Structure 1
């Protein structure tokens, strides 16, 4: 294992080691049902919340507070592209965090989770300002509590960029954790075009449905025809860049939210990252490079697929336990520094 990479404890049984099985099961109806069950079982109050942000932006989410005791900290949870607050990994992770005593805010990005009607403009991955504003509003919702953020896939990319932006934005962010975060959008697009077609077809179908819904809600603004919706992913993204952003071209747009190269070296907020070497969506070869940065703590698993990390027939997974454990470790610095005690705490949290 290269220097700076923490060996992973994720050890799925042999029948769960295929990366495509892991990735498909991660968004399966069975796992979604498990997430709803876990959230129902936890003693917490869940409050749908509409955030009205600067510039008239409106984002929707759910604020969840444990009933058993006052919350120890707040965690902002960010989903992946074309996911939502109801994605299985969001529900399962929220349930784990609530059981550990955290308040949780699951945020829908613009145009996700049925929120297309809240804003006229289209979602794109460089809308970081409104996520920073949302994080500030979430911190104000639970004043005085430490703030952490956790994200999956594109949500992990947003979480890491949130950490980079936090000092200048005056955001009291203590730590971020990211599962299979997107680092290099341009390279990821290349790999998806060359990889198994099922992933590209999945995201194309979901995005086309989202764009069609936006057009139906705001036909005077989004007057594109069905020929646009039939475009493959790369030309459709280029069309979106031209019509919905200020970026001159696709390369500049990708660079706008890229975390490739040495960009994460500037982190002052500590970041924990969980990545699978066999991720079929986000290429893993860039991750050993960032493991050498001072505030990046990387755990690289041999298996796990894309945001899967499922290790039992119940469809519960390692990733949601890992997120809760890393958030807890961020608050219990003495346990982290004590070596053996820290390992014992992690073993208990990841069980």
Structure 2
């Protein structure tokens, strides 16, 4: 039997205000004064205090990225080409500052600066041949687990699928809960629910093992503290949700996600639905598969008065349903985790269509 030998993030700093140590952390990785660090930063931070704290030196460059849509393969390729054309030589490293979109872009660009072709060529499992450039993740919202995962989820011309490889994880992560201050409530909720759903799918899956269970149980406990128990200060909530995101990401790293994510990929590919929102739209309808998790989810949506979007699929054509269904059914490891090798006996195109029609 072959056991998975997967890479973990080798260095992580956690603590309020730890972003102030960034210069100290990355300086030893600078190749030369002419090899810049590239900072990919969510454009919501343009002209803010965070931008002013980014430790630029020499010809380091900030590239602001709009995160209203999820990362695309052509976007990764364009960023790579822009960096190469401007600087000629390879940079010292790539840093992503923002939410899951910026985490995934930073990982993907670091890979593509070291590998030929298009990022679409690497959508799948273990297709990357050369180590990525040094890359650092600095999340400013918690829940996706992108800061710790070995994948970077991209929408390509033919599919929405991650670059899953041993070279994808960050070399360094900076977890500063202060960076999550002021996140809008809906965004905080939807992204936090991504973590909660990770835990439910991992802990109820056929891939479950003691490693993924230990992380998943801790992440779920932290999610309950943040979203159900309600006795935390804002600072405690930010600290604990950041740790929940980390542990939830670690849980699925050694197992898998399940039905909600498999179906959410279909929504996202066809309709552009954001990942956290899409997971919530799907999970809200999954009592058949996750009765206890959906019960708790509905309690949390009621508590925070979150209106889950409905009616997305009401006017779709047969061809559009088929596209969504094909994308979803292509997520084989997710379905296998959810219900085993014989999942196709339960999940047919007709079954999926009837489920999507409720959303």
Could you say which TM-score interval applies, normalised by the shorter chain? 0.3 to 0.5
Q: Provide the TM-score with structure 2 as the length reference.
A: 0.32
Greater RCO, 1 or 2 (C-alpha within 8 Å, sep 6+): 1
Q: Provide the TM-score with structure 1 as the length reference.
A: 0.32
